[in-house]
Amino acid sequence: MAKPLLISVVGPTAIGKTSLSIEIANHFKTEIVSTDSRQFYKEMRIGTAVPSLEELNSAPHHFIQHLSVNDSYSVGEFETDAMTLLHNLFKRHSFVVAVGGSGLYMKAITEGFDDFPELDPSIRLALNDIHKKKGLLPLQEELKLLDPDTFKSIDLHNPQRLIRALEVSKGTGIPFSRFKTKPKKERFFDVLTIGLTADRNIIYDRINKRVDLMVDNGLVEEVKSLYEFKNLNALNTVGYKEVFEYLDNKLTLEEAIEKIKMNTRRFAKRQLTWYRKDNSISWFNYPVSSSKVLAFVNNAINY
């Protein structure tokens, strides 16, 4: 018997992944697994572009707003939970759709992660202390020395990933990047990955319009309601940290909005850099009709 198929939809932010994933899910009468790590949090709706109620009701969704910002939740825990869910979903469906812009979390489903050895917890505590007292720069400089390959490939402004890479490199004496070159874990399902992309100017224009819409829909009020939690990792997110700067009188509202747009454009660029390394992705340029993508999927299934 052929393996079940996970249809993965990836691409930069604001490119239209949500609507396409719903079209695919409805075509196959199946369900959607979200791999957008910031849409996990129920308090963060507007700034993370959570699908609308209409979209959520159009197809069953999983891993959407199931956590609180106070919850600690790692990508390793997500991998475990997602695999348990997929085992159950594939009992009912031959196809399941996965969608999201968090490449690391999609990789957790499609490939899994290496098993790292136990590390001395004092290493992470010391790195967190450096970050708290001196910021990201000394951590970035140390990673560049210990593991130049990871330094070139990760988001250097994400303290959680920066600290994790350093923790492994320092705790094992082996560069973090070495652990990432081991063979993929065997999955009980096949994966077909659909990528959405567009000319840079189109992506940037869609991002700018989405940010304006978020502001119109109450982004500032949402961030105000989360002010007491601003130091939590979940809130170290584009769209939130810039508004916190506005609330702390470090930026005007106009400056904060422009900074959100700029940082989101940078994020989209990093997303594309991540995905371009994966030769298994079948790319479609925006705008593309769902019928064209579905024809490709059906052809791939029947090949």
What is the spatial distance between Cα 104 and Cα 109, in angstroms, rounded to a whole number? 9
pLDDT-derived band at 84 (thresholds 50, 70, 90) equals very high
How does pLDDT run across 9-25, given as a tens digit for each residue? 999 999 999 999 999 99
Confidence check: pLDDT of 1 > 60: no
Q: Quote the mean pLDDT of the chain.
A: 91
In the structure encoding, which two tokens stand for residue 204, read together? 């940037």
Report the alpha-carbon distance of residue 261 to residue 269 in Å, rounded.
12
pLDDT for 47 beyond 90: yes
C-alpha closest to that of 206 among 155, 268, 288, 253: 268
pTM: predicted TM-score of the whole model, two decimal places = 0.81
> What pLDDT is recorded for position 120?
78
Contacts of 233 (CB under 8 A, 6+ apart): 159, 160
181 has pLDDT over 70: no
Tell me the per-residue pLDDT of 194-249, one tens digit each, with 9 for 90 and over: 999 999 999 999 999 999 999 999 999 999 999 999 988 889 899 999 999 999 99
pLDDT of residue 252: 98
Q: Using CA atoms, how far apart are residues 89 and 78, in angstroms rounded to an integer?
A: 16
Contact 239, 43 (CB under 8 A): no
- By the 10 Å C-beta count (0-12 exposed, 13-18 middle, 19+ buried), 248 is classed as exposed
- Domains of the chain: residue spans and CATH: 5-113+190-302 (3.40.50.300), 121-179 (1.10.20.140)
pLDDT higher than 60, residue 176: yes
pLDDT band at 115 (very low <50, low <70, confident <90, very high): low
Res. 184 pLDDT band, cuts 50 70 90: low
